[in-house]
A and B are shown apart, each in its own frame.
Chain A
């Protein structure tokens, strides 16, 4: 959700039960403003909160002018009294520009940049299951069987691979973004020159549109668009329909769409990543998504439907 409309957005997304306490809210408002200035972002989104066992991560993302460019992600977490003291959070591994950076902070006011997510990271972290610890330097141990060549012998050895929680955090955030970040149709448009911009004349979806899954898009580079038939493509508007819609997500029914408060608020909840809530007030410009959850994919989804 946009940090500019943070308070309103939190109110609208509160139907899921998880929100922010007043002191967090206050500190977020101020710190996000500073982040925007320091990193020179065009827009800062409060992405959400990942609940860990020991501490929670608060994640923010910064966008540049082009809305679909890779975003910088920042996180911060809080050390709890009496628990392990984190090392000085000066690690900013490879925090280069134009890539994702997750910011973490010790005292709730500072954010650190996270490194961009890579394929390798994703493969590594796919073996880690369970909750987040809450400590970015915590290392998960995973034993693998690796073939080791020693001279002429080939035998398998158990190798313990250490995966840092920060890596896991990065890849989870990336997966969640790619899978379930949602934006309503018409909120962004593609200029003839290429970059994607916020559509200032977006007035909100109409009520009938708001109830359909096809009016919401994945907020990522399109994957399925090319596979559409020409007939389907003929109806699309190239400046507005340049992302995949939610309609064809597999498994079918992995989105729960509800109207709250009568018809004045539409809430989409992802069942694949439980905790992701997208809200939109039809006929207004308010929309946003927030993830508050444990960071675990719901792989039992097909059985639960």
Chain B
């Protein structure tokens, strides 16, 4: 009941407030209101308990529009100024006007609600003693009772409404309405007898009363009752106004039921669930604030930062042209994280290498070169070539035959800053998290990494279970893969780098392999079209990793000779001495070899080139994509500063 009345009030209020002057037209439209109007004034006076049963079915619909209803109560209570100003004599034009306004203004349901709301008025009409117009009242009632809203009913609704507002008995009315609105209570029981008993309830009323009582029965399972549920459902539908509401009404019903239970738990759950999001946001906020925190060192760091921090956003822009990228926001955060890295470590050169996807978390990799002489010491792992213990230290008590097997000498890893360890790599899981330095890579790791294929989990200390067994955990495997990828896919346009003029020894012991290169100041750039069409315009600028696992050939013979001298002479030694002689020096393509020399993989070319855009070729860039390592890209825009970059996914090659 409440719903109906406030609804009507709201509608009235809105109508009056918003629609301004259309009343007059409305007035002409409806014809019935007059008799009802005077009745309406009296209707409101009595308690509305009598009509309650009748209005309950309408009430159902009305409660469906509870939201507007609630709003209605507010304005309704304050009673719109316009109706209040109107003398009682003028409510008739008002009422129909309002009503008619309402009818087109609202959806069918709302109008039905309104009309529902109207029925109590009719009930009131009934109750009021001065009803000579029981006829219109009756008709209205019956119409209302059938839940079919006719214009007349509506008219009546508004008519009485208006009148009631104008009445000084507004307050009483409201009070009654609230009483009626108490849908949770058992209407049948709470009916104040005074108003209701004025007119003996007809059969129809009783039927309605019973129907309503049934609808209000609470379910034993869920504690809801159909009355409330339907009203909530209709409220929701009216609020949201979805298309084809009738088709999705079952879903709406389900949602309402679900919502009903989750309300109380909301506060608790939300706190827990969103925590990780807040955490990471805090960390990333720290990234953004970082620049402001350091005052004194700002200048010095700026200097260095110029050299060491790359312009990640610029390269990201070019990569985006190629269709490769992490999204602007993410890239910016990575940029800031790199800045943080350069601020905390003495770094000469830094570059965003790429991102490796893992099962649980991903890795963001930065390639870094420390400043001269400021290498951080690395934890020494076992480097010494070991031999299997031949049982010298053991007493000869056990009679197991001694094995003369001498494990092949493990090849020492390359010094830092040379070969595969030329750069140091830092990884982090997400920008904002601390950067972790990856250990240097040993040749053995590279050799085995070539034979296995495993996913990364995202945690650096995960053991790698594989065959052949990988010496190390995930951080070593990651480092080995990074080394392989860098060696295989870092390319530059021909001529951008050239060998330095001065070199200490051109002919080294190993072979005339040049390790270093410099930027060529005279580089003029190659046309983008040329870069795309011919692969010989690109060269590798990272040393190829030999099958041995190093870039510079390490001859295991020499050392083993030294060791041989320390051992007792045995026959096997002599044999061993002969073996190393057969080891040939492994040779790989020298630095700065054009990539057209790369081997094909299973009949497909190892690189794919294309222009970033066919439509605007004059500003397009040349993009090179590796087919061996899917996810490695290089681009060049044909002018002087070119870029190479890698975005690596899943870190598996074809091998």
Interface residues of A (CB under 8 A from B): 11, 14-24, 51, 53-55, 78, 80-82, 108, 130-131, 189, 191, 197, 199-201, 203, 206-208, 239, 253, 256, 258-259, 261-264, 269, 271, 274-275, 293-294, 300, 303-305
Contact = CB atoms under 8 A, between A and B. Distances in A.
A206 B273 CA distance: 9
A269 B357 contact: yes
B86 interface: no
Interface string B601-619: 0111100101111111100
A189 B249 CA distance: 13
Contact of A262 (B276, B603, B631): B276
A239 B248 CA distance: 12
Nearest to B323: A21
A108 B323 contact: no
Contact of B325 (A14, A55, A191): A14
Given A23-B615, A263-B273, A275-B649, 9 more contacts: A17-B355, A19-B320, A191-B247, A199-B248, A199-B251, A256-B360, A262-B279, A269-B357, A304-B453
A11 B617 contact: no
Given A21-B322, A262-B280, A263-B274, A303 B453 contact: yes
B357 A16 contact: yes
29 contacts: A14-B330, A15-B330, A17-B325, A17-B648, A18-B647, A19-B320, A19-B323, A19-B325, A21-B320, A21-B612, A51-B630, A53-B604, A78-B614, A81-B532, A81-B617, A130-B603, A131-B627, A200-B251, A256-B358, A256-B360, A256-B455, A258-B362, A262-B278, A263-B277, A264-B277, A303-B453, A303-B454, A304-B454, A305-B455
A261 B277 contact: yes
Nearest to B631: A17
B325 A261 contact: no
B597 interface: no
A126 to B, nearest CB: 17
A17 B324 contact: yes
A208 B617 CA distance: 49
Contact of B614 (A108, A191, A199, A293): A108
Contacts of A256: 357-360, 455
Contacts of B359: 253, 256, 271
Contact of B649 (A207, A274, A304): A274
**Interface residue tally on B, bucketed by range:** 35 or more
B6 to A, nearest CB: 27
A180 B458 CA distance: 23
Contacts of A21: 320-323, 612-613
A119 to B, nearest CB: 28
Contacts of A305: 454-455
A188 to B, nearest CB: 11
Contacts of B281: 262
Nearest to B283: A262
Contact of B455 (A11, A18, A197, A271): A271
A185 to B, nearest CB: 13
Contacts of B362: 15, 258
A17 B603 contact: no
B255 interface: yes
A243 B614 CA distance: 42
Q: Which of B603, B616, B648, B650 has the most CB of A within 10 A?
A: B650
B548 to A, nearest CB: 25
Nearest to A192: B250
Given A80-B611, A200-B248, A305-B455, A19 B324 contact: yes
A275 B631 CA distance: 10
Q: Which of B242, B359, B603 has the most CB of A within 10 A?
A: B359
B252 interface: yes
B604 A130 contact: yes
Contacts of A197: 247
Contacts of B625: 51
B66 to A, nearest CB: 19
A258 B361 contact: yes
B652 A200 contact: no
A130 B453 contact: no
Contact of A80 (B323, B327, B610, B652): B610
Nearest to B454: A304
B171 to A, nearest CB: 40
B326 interface: yes
Contacts of B605: 53
A16 B649 contact: yes
B25 interface: no
A272 to B, nearest CB: 12
Nearest to B613: A23
Contacts of B652: 304
B130 to A, nearest CB: 50
B630 A14 contact: no
A274 B325 CA distance: 17
Interface in B603-655: 603-605, 608, 610-617, 625, 627, 630-631, 647-650, 652
Contact of B453 (A208, A264, A300): A300
Interface string B286-330: 000000000000000000000000000000000011111111001
B517 to A, nearest CB: 29
Nearest to B649: A17
Given A19-B324, A21-B322, A201 B252 contact: yes
A201 B602 contact: no
B324 A22 contact: no
B533 interface: yes
B276 A17 contact: no
Contacts of B602: 130
Nearest to B317: A22
Interface string B437-456: 00000000000000001110
A196 to B, nearest CB: 13
B455 A304 contact: yes
Contacts of B248: 199-201
B329 to A, nearest CB: 8
A275 B649 CA distance: 9
Contact of B604 (A11, A131, A201): A131
Q: Which of A24, A189, A191, A256 has the most CB of B within 10 A?
A: A256
Contacts of A203: 255
B611 A81 contact: yes
Closest 8 CB pairs of A and B: A262-B277, A14-B327, A262-B280, A207-B273, A263-B277, A21-B323, A17-B647, A256-B359
A235 to B, nearest CB: 15
Nearest to B245: A200
Nearest to B529: A81
B453 A14 contact: no
A82 B534 CA distance: 11
Contacts of A130: 602-604
Nearest to B252: A201
A259 B251 contact: no
Contacts of B327: 11, 14-15, 19
Contacts of A264: 277
Interface string B590-605: 0000000000001111
Given A18-B324, A82-B533, A269-B357, A201 B255 contact: yes
Interface in B311-356: 320-327, 330, 355
Contacts of B279: 262
B280 A22 contact: no
A55 to B, nearest CB: 8
Nearest to A189: B251
Contacts of B627: 53, 131
Given A23-B613, A23-B615, A305-B455, A18 B323 contact: yes
B73 to A, nearest CB: 28
Contact of B323 (A20, A269, A271): A20
Q: Which of A53, A54, A199 has the most CB of B within 10 A?
A: A53
